[in-house]
Structure 1
């Protein structure tokens, strides 16, 4: 039902192709990146030294962390705004149709997923710190953290929402309508979502095995979306994952280098730490969500066919 929501609006294939081009490539990657490019150019001229553009870490450390965070999150704001405008103007769609098959967005689902994963993240961080305190340094600076909190609370959910609306929303629906099934959009959006993180500093530091985590996270969020017939759980989980991490702990080799409470000084290791979230934690979370929201008919929701409804059925899609 969630993918079929797209039938309510204009859903020609060219609209989706241009939508991705406008929102992602032109919006976030070009227009949204102009402040970052401008800041890098200004800093380079001022210091008389150009950064190594192939080394993201050298770019991230050019500025104070709070400034860097704004610069790297701003493109997602531009992308999200353009995507939602494109959906409304070109597809004649609504935010609700792009978000959920329910008659209205279920904010309780968003906050439940956010609270559950946020709590788990805090607990795991505290346990990790208690087990290996020498692996962390106290990084807390009240003034800088207060500014970080404001920036992160405003912009991080925008960043994660853009990724969810683009991958699990817009592309999931567009590819689903084109393929007439549910498994292909799940696979494509999950793999592409993972590959979009290949330039992250974590990949260079840990190795390509971390792509298992990124792609696995894409599959987890895609399964959440298809089984729950909406983006709400994925929106809440993704926002909690990035926001709580940005506030709690940072490291010199992560994409988010912030004025967080703790700084991880340990050397990251490729292996079981990458696999446990995908093959242990995520299945447990799916079990919790399935029990709470009484998910059934997994085979149909994940692998079923999508058939175009007739004109009378279209008006009933998503109505509870």
Structure 2
């Protein structure tokens, strides 16, 4: 009733199922951009990279579990919530804003962290809407969370770290990733 008897694959993509090529290409681009930002953050904020405190469990979590967690969030917020609302409300910005707010609500951060998560939820919503599927938003989300996890394992943060700085750089990363993937799609027809 909510989604008018739609097949499950329609939540993933309007292209008739998951497009692995789009996901993998987008993931590589997103991962490299987030990695560059993280490296710059280490250099700018004079953070220490420590290989002595590596926890095997956290590495396994970062490589294996996080992609499933990100995919699940994308499926819930951009797949189910946004698309269900979009089937009732024909103005795309309204479901994008609602799912973004719901996405932020489900995360427990301070106000500056929530602003960053809200902005990412909105960006992921625009990306899923623009590319007509979850592949690119899932790639962006997964790359961000994997690098964040690996950073928490390898990087000894300084006391000067701030959630506001982290949120601002995360928003900038997501905008740059979207712009680069958009350009690559227009230039080379990545998603045709």
Measured against the shorter chain, the TM-score band is 0.7 to 0.9
- Which is greater in Rg? 1
Ranges in structure 2 where 5+ consecutive residues have no aligned partner: none
String of CA shifts for 1:17-74, please: whole Å, max 9, x gaps. xxxxxxxxxxxxxxxxxxxxxxxxxxxxxxxxxxxxxxxxxxxxxxxxxxxxxxxxxx
For residues 60 and 176 of structure 2, what CA distance do their matches in structure 1 show? 32
> What is the TM-score when the length of structure 2 is the normalising length?
0.84
2:133 counterpart SS class: coil
- Counting matched residue pairs gives 188
Which structure 1 segments of 5+ residues have no match?
1-11, 17-89, 251-259, 296-319
2:26 aligned residue: 113
| SS of equivalent residue, structure 2 residue 156 | strand
1:272, distance to aligned residue in structure 2 (A): 5.3
How far apart, CA to CA, are the structure 2 residues paired with 1:216 and 1:225?
A: 14
1:213/1:182 CA distance change after superposition, 3 Å: same
1:264 deviates by 1.2
Q: Which has the higher contact order (CA 8 A, sep 6+)?
A: 2
2:143 equivalent in structure 1: 240
Number of the residue aligned with 1:309: none
Scaled by the length of structure 1, the TM-score of the pair is 0.53
Matched with 1:212 is 115
Q: Aligned equivalents of 1:97 and 1:115: distance in 2?
A: 24
4+ residue stretches of structure 1 with deviation over 6 A?
none
1:171 maps to 81
CA RMSD across the alignment: 2.5
1:153-189: CA deviation from partner (whole Å, max 9, x where unpaired): 2211111111100000011111111223322111100
Shift in alpha-carbon separation, 1:192–1:136, aligned structure 2, 3 A: same
The offset of 1:215, in angstroms, is 0.8
1:93 aligns with 2:23: no
